[in-house]
Amino acid sequence: MRRGVTRRTTHVVFGRTLLAKAATARTGDGDIERRVQAEREAGRELVSENGFLRLLGLL
Task: Give the model confidence (pLDDT) of 1-52 as tens digits.
Answer: 456 677 777 777 777 776 677 667 666 677 778 888 888 898 888 888 888 8
Domain ranges of the chain: 11-55
What's the count of helices (H) and strands (E) in the chain, helices before strands? 3, 2
Of 9, 14, 1, give the one whose Cα is nearest residue 43.
Answer: 9
> Is residue 39 within 8 Å of 46, Cβ to Cβ?
yes
Task: Tell me the β-bridge partners of 48.
Answer: 14
Q: What is the value of pTM for the model shown?
A: 0.55
Q: What is the pLDDT of residue 28?
A: 66
